[in-house]
Amino acid sequence: MKMPRLSRRQRMFVQCAPFNEERIRDRAMRAAVFRVHKTDEFANQREFDRAVAALVQTVPIPEGVTAWLSKGIYVAAPKRTWKQALRNPAVLAIGIAVSVIAAIFVMKLIERMNEFPGGTTARRLLTVASSVHSLMLDPVKTDAGALGDYFFMKHRLPHYDVPPEFADLRTLGCRVFDDEEGQRVAQIWLIEKHMQFFIFPAERDLKTGAARHFSGWRYVDQYRWTGVVQERNGVCFMAALRGSEKDLAPYISKPKD
Amino acid sequence: MLGDAGKAQEIFQAIMHDAALRAAEGELPNDRLSIFRDARYRCLGASEAGLQAEAIELEEHEIDSSAPVQIAKLEPAQLAVWISAAPDPQRTALALFYLDEFDHEELLALSELKTAELANLIGNGRQEFQAWLNATFPREQAFEEQA
């Protein structure tokens, strides 16, 4: 078989390719050798090289040399660097797996840290907020802060008050309904940013029946809706809108008297 | 590299002596090639001190399919003398290449050559050696003995 056309680089590789296949570790060299391995010219070269190497192998090695070499003291044990270890596919796979587990753990931890009594109800009410139309509400146009008395007088719901931070906002309508757990929930629709308020009983301890308190404002989100929740006197208030925490933050950043 | 077993052994022992001293001091090199590199430099130094081969342009012949038969007739010492007479870096390239100890990258690192240079030196070395074989064992003789 005749020598195929080779690039200059391939010719170079063929010229200096080790005659021992095990020593060809370079992919480009292996490819070049593969192209010519059936040619007569390359076969002659290989036979030539192997014959010379066989002759080299017959060079007698003095006993002293063998004894020295067998001690194996001339090279330090190879030290694995961090870079080499990281390039190992097994280490890489373990690293990725550990990173994913760590990320999930951190996410769960953050979720746990953000959880508060009544958080589940708040999320469910965000779903209600996303599906309810203003037509379903009784039209009431007033300041949100005035509706606390309205809920008490008409529905006998004590402490269903709108916190001072949101009390000045104008309302479009409101309603009171029973949620899936039979809790009385007040819903208020506002003009500003199509915001909605929900006032609902705080989560209660199953043994004692006492309301489970938490301090400050807590954020909750569900399906692109975000709510900010506060508990006071065993009643939770949630302001909800379609958006992110950034949209709600200005309202609660400056507490009002 | 030297074509002289006595000198080679002296150099080997000197290298091992140094390695033993370094081991005692806990300063062994991490690089497996370092000992071969050291051996190469020592061999080159030793050969510079002795008689120098005359720089002549050798004839080059195409590699023949009967070359293995010709090579089989050689004594290892003849090959060693032929390689040691080659000018460096060709001498280094041929010695390391036929030692069958190194891959391509290691050969380049040890001989301090580029792929093109190494390929050229080995390719020419083969053809020069073939010419020498043809001169030492003429074709007719090789074929007669083969038959």
Question: What distance in Å separates the CA atoms of residue A28 and residue A172, rounded to the nearest whole number?
Answer: 75
Please identify, among B52, B73, B90, the residue that sits at the C-terminal boundary of a domain: B52
DSSP A8: H
> Average pLDDT, whole number, for chain A?
86
Q: Which domain holds residue B46?
A: 1-52
pLDDT of B130? 92
ipTM above 0.95, yes or no: no
The answer on B140 and B74 residing in a single domain is: yes
Average pLDDT over residues A175-199: 91
> What is the CA angle B51-B52-B58, rounded to 5?
140
Residues B79 and B42 in one domain: no
Q: Which whole-number Å values give the CA distances from A198 to A5, A223, B30, in the listed order?
A: 80, 17, 71
pLDDT digits (tens, 9 = 90+) for A207-244: 888 888 888 899 998 888 999 999 998 999 999 999 99
Residue bearing the bigger pLDDT, A63 or A159: A159
Candidates B79, B105, B118; nearest CB to A55: B79
**CB-CB under 8 Å, A65 with B65:** no
Res. B127: pLDDT tops 60: yes
Q: Residues 15..74 of B with a Cβ closer than 8 Å to A: which?
A: 15-16, 19-20, 23, 28-32, 34-35, 63-65, 67-68, 71-72, 74
Claim to verify: residue B93 and residue B131 sit in the same structural domain: yes
Per residue in A189-212, pLDDT tens? 998 888 999 999 998 888 888 888
Summarize the confidence of residues B82-102 as an average pLDDT: 88
What pLDDT digit, counting tens, does each position of B8-64 carry?
888 888 888 887 788 788 777 777 788 888 888 888 888 777 666 666 777 888 888
Do B78 and B36 belong together in one domain?
no
Q: Quick: pLDDT tens for A143-156.
A: 999 999 999 998 89
Q: Are residues B45 and B85 in the same domain?
A: no
Beta bridge partners of A239: A197, A228
B98 and B28 part of one domain? no
Residues of A in contact with B72 (CB under 8 A): 51, 55
**Which among B35, B76, B104 has the least Cβ separation from residue A18?**
B104
Reported confidence tier of residue A185, pLDDT bands at 50, 70, 90: very high
- Alpha helix stretches (DSSP H) within A132-244: 147-155, 164-167
- State percent of chain A over pLDDT 90: 37
Q: Beta partners for A163?
A: none
Contact B28, A76 (CB under 8 A): yes
A29 CB neighbours in chain B (<8 A) are: 104
Q: Which of B30, B52, B74 lies at the terminal end of a domain, its last residue?
A: B52
Question: Do residues B11 and B67 both lie within one domain?
Answer: no
Residue A135 has pLDDT above 80, yes or no: no
Residues of A within 8 A of B12 (CB-CB) are 65, 68
- Its pTM surpasses 0.80: no
pLDDT averaged over chain B? Answer: 83
Q: Is B97 on the interface with A (CB under 8 A)?
A: yes
Amino acid type, A253: S
pLDDT, residue B50, reads 66
B74 with B136, same domain: the answer is: yes
User: What is the per-residue pLDDT across A57-112, written as a single tens digit (0 to 9) for each?
Assistant: 888 777 767 766 665 556 566 667 788 888 888 888 999 999 999 999 999 998 88
Domain count, chain B: 2
Whether B126 and B66 share a structural domain? yes
Cβ of B68 and A64 within 8 Å?
no
